Structure 1
Amino acid sequence: MGFLLWSIFLSTIGTVSAITHFNALVGGTTFLSSTSPASPDQQIDWNLDASGSVIATRRPGIDSTYAGRCVGGKCTLFANGTLRMDQLLVSDNRSYTVTLRTGGVQFKEQVQLNVYNLLTPPSLILSSTIRPVNGTNLNLRCNAGTQTVHSIYFYRNQELVSCSSPHLSCSQSNSYLYFSPILASDSGDYSCGIQNPVSSNRSTSINLNVAVNVSRVNLYSNSTQPVIAEKETVSLICSSYGTDVSNNWMLMGSPLPQNPRYSLINNNSILVISPVSRSDQGAFTCRVSNYLNSEISNPFNLTWSPDGHIECGAERLAQSVELYCLWPGGYPPAVVHLVYENIIQSGLDGTTAAVPSYRFSLGKLLSCTGTHAGSSETCSLAIDTPQSAGFINDSLKTAKTGSSAFLSITLNGTRAGAAEIFPAKFSWSHLDPSASEITEKNIYMISNDYSSILIVPYMSNEFNGQYVCKAENRMGSNSFTFILNVKEEEILSEGAIAGIVIGSVAAVALVALVLVLIFRNRSKSDRQNIGIVHNIGRPCREQVALVTK
């Protein structure tokens, strides 16, 4: 019995469902409805709020009646229970209840009407009136005034700002965008947008140009190797981090002097020196500045290579022999090391060592090593008088009458990989007192710094005897002797005589060929003296091929 009475009570009061929301624009129209449409036999009542005054009623078979907000044709109640509301006002922003009745059973449902004004553009406000600086805190505020706003968005360069960045803080429900701190990469045009269920709008843009302090100033060259002074061009590059910078150059702490070889490009961040001169010694620096601060670069010194190659040498003086290793002209100067027996010393650009004559001995090796800007060169020099390994004095050379004869000498050290030797001057002498005078028509001598050859194109008895080749260099002289023996020919036929003549012509042609080869292959010495001998004993200098016939 008790359960039956409780069931009748529940059927009498009906049910109340979850609230449904309707969004509309001020001045517009909305349609409020229940989740369960009314039937023709049901009475329909629309009330303000949950139990407020009735604003519209419809009974079966009777026209709808209106009160309060709905009078004057501002509402229409349809048979299915839907209530149309026109000319909406902000005051219509409230809840409404619809009640459906049939006999003793009723159904109630509450709905919510949200009436919004059309949104106007918000304003974007920067927390600071001065230019933002990289590394400082800043915020932007999207000011919508008294408008009802559901969501707020921020944009940079027309793209939505991601609030997930570590240094940014924002949300759709917060009118602020926080930079903690602001970075140079945050520069751009910013705007904000607001939104409610019926409209949206966006602010005008403001530009954030983030200033950056000058830092990381670095001066370097486009060349990683030393250049050749007076010939090559180099560019010094001043790189930096910062905004709106200016670049000023200095040499040895003073403003860069006016010089036609200096030119500045790329907002004065690159100094082109064309060509590099030996007067460009000293530290170059660049000062980078903006309105926030300035910073000076690291000092940079140009480097250029030493002149040519490292040189080993020696000079015999009155009471000593001066040894030297030279590699001058580099900047910074090359470090040069000298080693000779138990003498070891170093110097910049070069170094010398004087060895007293009474302590000096021939046949030793002078070694030189130079280092400059990570590269090195070496040379070695045999300190000795002219030598010719394997040569035997008074070597016998035999030639038939009418044939050609060649006497030659080569000094040691000209082979690849061997130590250098001193250049020498050569002179030839014929020691046979019975020999007739040698004229320029019957003998040739060709020499260079390291070898010499004596050529007799047509042998006769007058060329019999001993020949001496004297070679002289800075350390002294040495003589090399030859024995030239002329062998008489038997009585010859006319054909043999013709052969001799032809052979003589061929010998002259061979001499001409030797001369051509000499000109094509000479080395080490630019000085030359190739020609017919006027008298034996005249020194000549030129490279030759060593041939004996």
Structure 2
Amino acid sequence: MELSSVVCICILLSVTLVVAPVSGTELTSNTTEWVWEGESVSLDCTTQVENGTFLWKVNGDSLPASDRYYISKNEANTNSTLIISPIFRNDTGSFICEVSNTTVNETSNAVNISVAKPPDSLSIGCSAASLTGGVQLTCSWIGGDPAADIELSFNGTIDKGKNEVNRSVNLDNDVQQPEFICQGNQVGKTSKCNITLERPLSTSHDNNAVTSATEGENIKLTVSLTSQNSLTPEYAWVRLSTDTVNITSDGKYKVESSSSGSTLHISSATGSESGTYECRARNIIGTTTFKFNVEVKSKGSGGLSGGAIAGIVIGVLAGVALIGVGVFFLVKKLK
């Protein structure tokens, strides 16, 4: 049997894989993508290229001349720093640095910087304004561009919005959380404030004190609030008796109230005005009752007045004088 020749031709294919060189030049920043207008930004370019020349670019073009741009490098030419201070909104852009020598040209990664207009205040504001029958809570951080994200947290509920968030709370609401919290976030910049609301308080008031007056005098009963965040309460004056009587400004009585307190004026007091009075101050957190004990004396009670005493003294002296005159004439007659 004749074997046929088998010719085996082997072809060796050489495949060359081309890999793009990894840049040894890196650009970093001291800030996140967003920065507030007026702040300073530092960009740091580090390279492995020896004896390289640095070229800074923004949005693909060479960095324009500006007295707000400060460029420096180290002695070994391995690092260059760009400081922009203050930074303006027209500085928004994509920054890179290029490093080259006679044999190598490398481009860093890009660092994107966006410049925002900060809010009018650097801190978010909390406020509580009294309304008829309640209060309006406000969280405000306005004026920024882009607008700030706002959260208002009170009594277990969160309201969200842009720039400013308001919530009206009625006196009849059941408030379990007296602290109200504002939180703001504008381009990663955050701010927080809080107010712990209080029911009306007065550290100077004595519920056991007695106010005394004489018939015909005017009486003034005053509550002075000392709590810092009690809000403007609603005041109700009553007189305690067999039937509780509500007091309003009418004739003999006059009520004057403000955010810091309330006063009841009683004109030309009589004995019938004696008794216990209450001022009930109420806000969304709660009600505080302030008591006043009033005692009105008749004009003939409580000792003699200065005029009465003077009259008695004059009468006594006159009587003594008359006795002296009588004795004088009696002695003369006996002679």
Q: TM-score scaled by structure 2? A: 0.46
Between 1 and 2, higher relative CO (CA 8 Å, sep ≥ 6) is seen in 2
Q: Which has the larger radius of gyration?
A: 1
